[in-house]
């Protein structure tokens, strides 16, 4: 969200709070005054009934004057005390609710800021890890006097991927998660980009990547976003896959109840996901058991769910056992 939009939101909230506080306070005061007047009228009596109370002087009233009443102070004072205490309590409650409402925009802004920093850190972490692996490969090739043209090309591709990811994160933050623009991307291209990005990490873990994408599958999601989703799922699978085992990503058009959706299945042969963790792992900062590899922060799967939901898709665990797990990502197919 831009600075001017933030200021407009704060001003609008301040006006609403001021109006709400004024109206609520007026209602409390009016109710207290109304109750007090009702009590006075209920406990008063005509002056003519106050025998023996008439005396000389400018303040005396004529006996039997129907316009004059007598109020017993002893009966009214307790009501005044009770109504005053109740009014103070209600006004205190109004002040508390007003304060909560006043800080709500600040709370939203701080949460959005924390989420953006965490998301950006996580999204850039995988490309940085891949870049580090590429640099190490490059150094070994230089030391052996081998050609480095392909390594430099992949370094350039990883750098471009980082730039695309950062640009999309900034655009998403500026749009404040509003309606997303229509877009279409080739699933094969996005998957291949994700595989190339994860490959150095997979090679370091001794895991083989096996992409399998059906022909002509186009998804109603920007290509850089789809690449991010595939990268996060592959990265999660590689972190939990035993050395010497494959990780497959299979993409096909859904059928039956999933018609109109593209289905991305990421399959690993890791220890699986415990039943009690099937939903928890999709929440922020939820981490599974350590694998002894690169430390995770529990953000990848949560980001996948957030982004998939934003584009009308879903993600979940299709199957899991001690022989491995299959994550299923569904996204709308592009029209036309």
Over residues 303-316, the pLDDT tens digits come to 888 889 988 999 99
- The rounded mean pLDDT for the chain is 77
C-alpha closest to that of 219 among 185, 242, 192, 182: 185
Res 302: pLDDT: 83
Task: Name the residue with higher pLDDT: 240 or 163.
Answer: 240
Q: What is each CA distance from 136 to 10, 110, 132, 178, 319, in whole angstroms? A: 50, 38, 6, 41, 37
Closest CA to 334 of 146, 142, 199, 189: 189
The residue extents of the domains of the chain are 3-113, 180-332
pLDDT of residue 82: 82
pLDDT band at residue 318, thresholds of 50, 70 and 90?
A: very high
Domain 180-332: give its CATH architecture: 2-Layer Sandwich (3.30)
pLDDT tens string 233-268: 998 999 899 999 999 999 999 888 788 999 999 999
Residue 88 has pLDDT above 50, yes or no: yes
Residue 183 vs residue 113, higher pLDDT:
183
The pLDDT value recorded for residue 289 is 54
Whole-Å CA distances, 240 to 205, 247, 288, 294, 306: 10, 10, 9, 10, 22
Average pLDDT over residues 205-226: 92
Predicted pLDDT at 298: 43
Q: Does pLDDT of 100 surpass 90?
A: no
d(CA 51, CA 269): 101
Predicted pLDDT at 51: 47
11-15, 70-74, 178-182, 192-196: which is most confident? 192-196
Q: Please give the C-alpha separations between residue 27 and each of 89, 93, 167, 183, in angstroms, as whole numbers.
A: 14, 13, 51, 52
Whether the predicted pLDDT of 123 surpasses 80: no
Write down the H helix ranges in the chain.
Answer: 3-43, 73-144, 149-175, 187-205, 223-240, 300-310
Higher per-residue pLDDT: 10 or 234: 234
Interaxial angle between packed helices 187-205 and 149-175, expressed in degrees from 0 to 180 and rounded to the nearest 10: 120
């Amino acid at each position: 969200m831009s600075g001017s939009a933030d200021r407009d939101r704060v001003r609008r909230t301040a006006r609403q709070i001021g109006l709400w506080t004024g109206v609520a306070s007026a209602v409390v005061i009016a109710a207290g005054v109304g109750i007090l007047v009702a009590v006075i009228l209920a406990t008063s009596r005509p002056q003519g009934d106050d025998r023996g109370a008439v005396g000389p002087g400018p303040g005396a009233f004529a006996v039997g004057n129907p316009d004059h009443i007598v109020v017993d102070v002893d009966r009214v004072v307790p009501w005044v005390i009770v109504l005053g205490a109740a009014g103070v309590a209600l006004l205190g409650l109004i002040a508390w609710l007003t304060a909560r409402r006043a800080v709500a925009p600040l709370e939203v802004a701080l949460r959005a800021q924390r989420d953006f920093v965490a998301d950006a850190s996580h999204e850039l972490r995988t490309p940085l890890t891949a870049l580090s692996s590429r640099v190490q490969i490059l150094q070994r090739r230089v030391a052996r006097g081998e050609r480095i043209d392909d390594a430099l090309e992949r370094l350039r591709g990883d750098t471009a991927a980082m730039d695309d990811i950062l640009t999309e994160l900034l655009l998403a933050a500026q749009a404040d998660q509003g309606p997303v623009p229509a877009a279409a991307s080739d699933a094969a291209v996005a998957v291949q980009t994700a595989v190339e990005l994860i490959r150095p990490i997979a090679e370091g873990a001794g895991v083989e990547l096996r992409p399998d994408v059906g022909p002509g599958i186009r998804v109603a999601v920007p290509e850089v976003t789809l690449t991010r989703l595939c990268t996060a799922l592959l990265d999660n699978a590689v972190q939990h896959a035993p050395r010497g085992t494959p990780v497959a990503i299979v993409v096909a058009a859904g059928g039956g109840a999933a018609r109109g959706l593209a289905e991305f299945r990421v399959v690993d042969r890791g220890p699986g996901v415990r039943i009690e963790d099937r939903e928890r792992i999709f929440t922020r900062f939820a981490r599974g058991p350590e694998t002894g590899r690169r430390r995770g922060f529990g953000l990848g799967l949560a980001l996948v769910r957030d982004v998939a939901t934003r584009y009308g898709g879903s993600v979940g665990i299709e199957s899991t056992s001690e022989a491995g797990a299959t994550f299923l990502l569904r996204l709308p197919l592009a029209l036309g």
